[in-house]
């Protein structure tokens, strides 16, 4: 990889002086030897897999250089989610850095739908585009690729989704680490769409420099790689982990005006931004616009150079996110209500729910919420403009390969795509009973432990172990996400001294240790969001009243809460339950 700025925090230099709790966490995650620990904490971009080894990358690069030489207009076409939006923005900024203007295109979830379509090609042609590059989509659009053959336009597909159609699209070039004939290292198969876009930019830079041209560093683009990778739940394998780590390092001092709006003053002085800021703040806001309307404002947020205009885009998408939360809450409550009505013994293997009027833009999030609540896979259907057709978003639980499970039912679908953890599909409404029957038959062949979400924890510790030293040490395990989940600690020596209900749904817990440390009982606050009336939980008052006879078990994440310029330790309580089951 190019000679990038690889200045690292002290953590890598002191990787063998790590906190003993962190060392035990790493051991349980398969990082035990000195070399494995060094690899985990590595910031070395030169020691990642070769991003420029992907099939068709050189062919695509050659065509792009031809377009540059002939002054042909280039278009970038991306999906409407965070991964697609950051991918579009990444290539926009790359081409801008070499003084090339590109046309940006994104489909509407509600008009064109996912992917690149023949109408998308027509729109590009109307803009005078001679070369269209897709990002985070295209691998399943066989018809569109063939539609370009008698048009005055070339199509380059960059994607990372499963190559599951009858054949690879017959586009000018297809760059996808998961295409059926790709032989790259397994590590690269985990790239998000934005990682593939970065690989393309890297290869173009290399080719231009071989021609004697000067190209600015691509290092600033890694902040977009970090956001897209984390929010698309791409596995944080070694290459993704290092790329994302450097992206998070740049975000506190981001040069993108739109992203600056997400930063609080205390964020700007950090050595790197926590991944949860991407997954719970930046990502949902960028996603929200595409869930309710056309996603173009979110993309403009990431490419607008004027801070005032960028701020206007920021306010637009945060308003959209608020609206999305309201709609999502209503749909989630209705879905849970429907499931409870049909919940029977033995427990179902999968939740499949459908209402004609559910908002299409939130069914994916609702499916995720149902998995969180009921611990089994979920498929959420809604209606379409055609009363005979329904569409759905699906989410997995545990280790179940959801794509493989649904692939067994693909004869029922009109459209189908996705990956191991999530998928989307459309089908005739009349096929719904058949789908329920067929997928349940398949799931019966899968061991329960592989198809259910279990309440797991990483390590049992004492409340007295929860201190700033450990919190700071955990910070350097970033980035957290798929494949490197934020550690959950099990605490059995916490006594609930009091609690309070916030906004009718959240609970603030006040804990005290049962044993003294340095002659004091340790006190620590915790918070559980949306705890009240949550499926499968005990009422806080009940927990408080039974703990003398039935001690509590607290599963929590330790973090540092910044407020009014001060830092506070806080437990993010994932689960709190009595040690012995109540009949």
- pLDDT, position 193: 97
Measured in degrees and rounded to the nearest 5, phi and psi for residue 4 equal -95, 165
Between CA 410 and CA 333 the distance in angstroms is: 29
For residue 1, tell me if it sits in a domain.
no
Per-residue confidence in pLDDT tens, the chain, 583 aa:
554 544 455 444 444 578 999 999 999 999 999 999 999 999 999 999 999 999 999 999 999 999 999 999 999 999 999 999 999 999 999 999 999 999 999 998 888 888 999 999 999 999 999 999 999 999 999 999 999 999 999 999 999 998 988 999 999 999 999 999 999 999 999 999 999 999 999 999 999 999 999 999 999 999 999 999 999 999 999 999 999 999 999 999 999 999 999 999 999 999 999 999 999 999 999 999 999 999 999 999 999 999 999 999 999 999 999 999 999 999 999 999 999 888 776 779 999 999 999 999 999 999 999 999 999 999 999 999 999 999 999 999 999 999 999 999 999 999 888 888 889 999 999 999 999 999 999 999 999 999 998 778 999 999 999 999 999 999 999 999 999 999 999 999 999 999 999 988 899 999 999 988 777 889 999 999 989 988 888 999 999 999 999 999 999 999 998 777 788 999 999 999 998 865 5
Q: Bin 486: left if φ > 0, else alpha if -120 < ψ < 50, else beta.
A: beta
In this structure, are 298 and 432 located in the same domain?
no
The CA angle 129-135-138, to the nearest 5 degrees, is 90
Between CA 509 and CA 572 the distance in angstroms is: 10
In this structure, are 242 and 133 located in the same domain?
yes
Strands of 62-192 (E only): list them: 73-78, 102-105, 129-135, 154-158, 173-175
For residue 10, tell me if it sits in a domain.
no
CA distances from 88 to 78, 117, 124, 275 (A): 6, 17, 15, 21
Alpha helices in 462-551 (DSSP H): 468-475, 540-546
Between CA 234 and CA 227 the distance in angstroms is: 11
Between CA 294 and CA 107 the distance in angstroms is: 7
In this structure, are 281 and 389 located in the same domain?
no
Between CA 144 and CA 169 the distance in angstroms is: 8
**pTM for the full predicted model:** 0.91
CB 232 within 8 A of CB 193: yes
In this structure, are 522 and 476 located in the same domain?
yes
CATH number, residue 521: 2.40.50.140
Chain length of the chain: 583
In this structure, are 385 and 525 located in the same domain?
no
Between CA 159 and CA 81 the distance in angstroms is: 13
Beta bridge partners of 399: none
- pLDDT, position 343: 78
- pLDDT, position 321: 96
Neighbours of 424 (CB within 10 A): 18
Helix (H) or strand (E) holding 86: helix 82-97
Residues 6+ apart with CB under 8 A from 94: 201, 204, 205, 218, 221
In this structure, are 531 and 512 located in the same domain?
yes
- pLDDT, position 11: 46
**Count of structural domains within the chain:** 3
Query: Strands 459-461 and 73-78: what pairing?
Result: unpaired
- pLDDT, position 2: 55
In this structure, are 433 and 466 located in the same domain?
no
> Which range of residues forms the domain containing residue 409?
343-450
CATH number, residue 311: 3.90.1640.30
In this structure, are 252 and 126 located in the same domain?
yes
Question: Residue 346, preceding bond cis, omega within 30 degrees?
Answer: yes
């Amino acid at each position: 990889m190019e000679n990038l700025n690889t200045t690292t925090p002290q953590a890598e230099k002191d990787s063998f002086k790590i906190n003993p709790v962190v060392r035990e966490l790493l051991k349980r995650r398969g990082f035990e030897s000195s070399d494995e620990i060094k690899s985990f904490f590595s910031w070395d971009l030169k020691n990642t897999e070769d991003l420029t080894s992907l099939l068709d990358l050189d062919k695509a690069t050659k065509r792009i250089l031809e377009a540059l030489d002939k002054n042909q207009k280039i278009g970038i076409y991306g999906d409407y989610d965070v991964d697609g939006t950051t991918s579009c923005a990444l290539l926009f900024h790359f081409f801008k850095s070499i003084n090339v203007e590109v046309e940006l295109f994104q489909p509407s979830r509600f008009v064109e739908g996912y992917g690149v379509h023949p109408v998308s090609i027509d729109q590009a042609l109307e803009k005078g585009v001679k070369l269209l590059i897709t990002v985070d989509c295209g691998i399943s659009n066989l018809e569109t690729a063939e539609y370009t053959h008698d048009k005055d336009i070339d199509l380059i597909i960059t994607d990372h989704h499963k190559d599951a159609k009858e054949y690879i699209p017959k586009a000018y070039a297809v760059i996808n680490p998961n295409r059926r004939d790709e032989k790259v290292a397994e590590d690269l198969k985990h790239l998000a769409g934005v990682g593939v876009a970065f690989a393309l930019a890297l290869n173009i830079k290399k080719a231009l420099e071989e021609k004697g041209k000067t190209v600015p560093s691509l290092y600033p683009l890694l902040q977009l790689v970090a956001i897209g990778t984390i929010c698309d739940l791409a596995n944080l394998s070694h290459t993704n982990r290092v790329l994302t780590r450097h992206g998070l390092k740049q975000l506190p001092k981001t040069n993108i005006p739109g992203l600056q709006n997400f930063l609080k003053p205390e964020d700007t002085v950090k050595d790197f931004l926590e991944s949860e800021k991407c997954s719970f703040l930046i990502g949902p806001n960028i996603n929200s616009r595409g869930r309710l309307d056309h996603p173009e404002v979110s993309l403009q947020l990431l490419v607008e150079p004027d801070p005032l205009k960028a701020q206007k885009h920021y306010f637009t998408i945060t308003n959209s996110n608020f609206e999305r939360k309201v709609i999502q809450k209503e749909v989630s409550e209705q879905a849970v209500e429907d499931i409870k009505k049909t919940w029977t013994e033995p427990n179902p293997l999968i939740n499949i729910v459908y209402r004609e009027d559910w908002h299409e833009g939130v069914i994916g999030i609702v499916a995720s919420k149902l998995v969180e609540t009921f611990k089994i896979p979920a498929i959420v259907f809604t209606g379409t403009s055609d009363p005979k057709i329904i569409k759905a978003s699906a989410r997995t639980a545990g280790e179940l390969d959801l794509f493989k499970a649904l692939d067994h039912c693909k004869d029922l679908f009109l459209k189908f795509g996705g990956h191991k953890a999530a998928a989307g599909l459309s089908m005739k409404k009349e096929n719904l009973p058949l789908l329920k029957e067929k997928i349940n038959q398949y799931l019966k062949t899968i061991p329960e432990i592989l198809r259910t979400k279990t309440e797991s924890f990483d390590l049992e510790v004492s409340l007295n172990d929860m201190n700033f030293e450990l919190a700071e040490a955990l910070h350097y395990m970033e980035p957290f996400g798929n494949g490197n989940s934020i550690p959950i600690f099990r605490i059995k020596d916490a006594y609930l001294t009091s609690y309070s209900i916030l906004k009718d749904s959240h609970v603030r817990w006040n804990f005290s240790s049962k044993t003294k440390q340095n002659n004091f009982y340790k006190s620590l606050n915790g918070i559980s969001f949306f705890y009240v009336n949550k499926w499968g939980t005990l009422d806080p008052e009940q927990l408080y009243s039974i703990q003398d006879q039935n001690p509590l078990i607290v599963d929590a994440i330790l973090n540092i809460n910044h407020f009014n310029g001060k830092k506070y330790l806080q437990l993010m309580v994932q689960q709190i339950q009595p040690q012995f089951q109540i009949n």
